[in-house]
């Protein structure tokens, strides 16, 4: 098991979130991909034993992909507050790291 991830620095640069980890790794995450992969229940839907809730299709605006502020939460996640007001997404560090390591599919 590796050491827990710790954040050294995070900032939104242009259309990317740039993260520097304490162990020296860096992640560059397109903001649009981050928002589309928002892990909150509103965006991803929830399943329970009896029902499956599917999220409504999102109507994103340009502001949906602009970061208003970023708050570390509990030493394990980032809360991203988007310019359109959406703020319920908590992005665990491990999730951010895995997103950053995936290369985007060719378009
Ligand atoms: Zn969300």
How far does residue 22's CA lie from ligand 1's centre (Å)?
27
In a domain, 2, yes or no: no
Its domain, for residue 97, covers 7-102
Ligand 1 center to residue 40 CA distance, Å? 4
18 located within any domain: yes
Q: Residue 28 C-alpha to ligand 1 middle, in angstroms?
A: 20
CATH number for position 65: 3.30.2020.30
pLDDT of residue 76: 94
Quote the CA–CA distance of 95 and 80 in Å, as a whole number. 13
Cα 10 to ligand 1 centre (Å): 20
Distance CA 41, CA 107 (A): 28
107: in domain: no
pLDDT at 20: 95
Mean pLDDT of 62-85: 95
- Quick count: other Cβ atoms within 10 Å of Cβ 35? 20
Ligand 1 centre to CA of 45 (Å) is 9
The structural domain count of the chain equals: 1
Q: What is the pLDDT of residue 49?
A: 64
Answer whether 0.85 is exceeded by the pTM.
Answer: no
Please, what sign has the CA dihedral across residues 83, 88, 92, 98? negative
Q: Is residue 28 part of a domain?
A: yes
| Between 101 and 48, the higher pLDDT residue | 101
Least confident range from 1-5, 33-37, 42-46, 79-83: namely 1-5
Mean pLDDT of 83-89: 96
Q: What is the mean predicted confidence (pLDDT) over 39-56?
A: 72
């Amino acid at each position: 098991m590796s050491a827990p991830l710790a954040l050294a620095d995070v900032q939104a640069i242009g259309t990317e979130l740039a993260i520097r980890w304490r162990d020296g790794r860096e992640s560059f995450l397109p903001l649009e991909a981050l928002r589309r992969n928002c892990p909150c229940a509103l965006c991803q839907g929830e399943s329970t034993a009896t029902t499956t809730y599917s999220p409504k299709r999102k109507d994103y605006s340009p502001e949906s992909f602009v970061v208003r502020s970023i708050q570390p939460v509990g030493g394990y996640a980032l809360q991203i507050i988007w310019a359109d007001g959406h703020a319920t997404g908590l992005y665990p560090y491990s999730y951010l790291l895995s997103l950053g390591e995936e290369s985007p599919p060719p378009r």
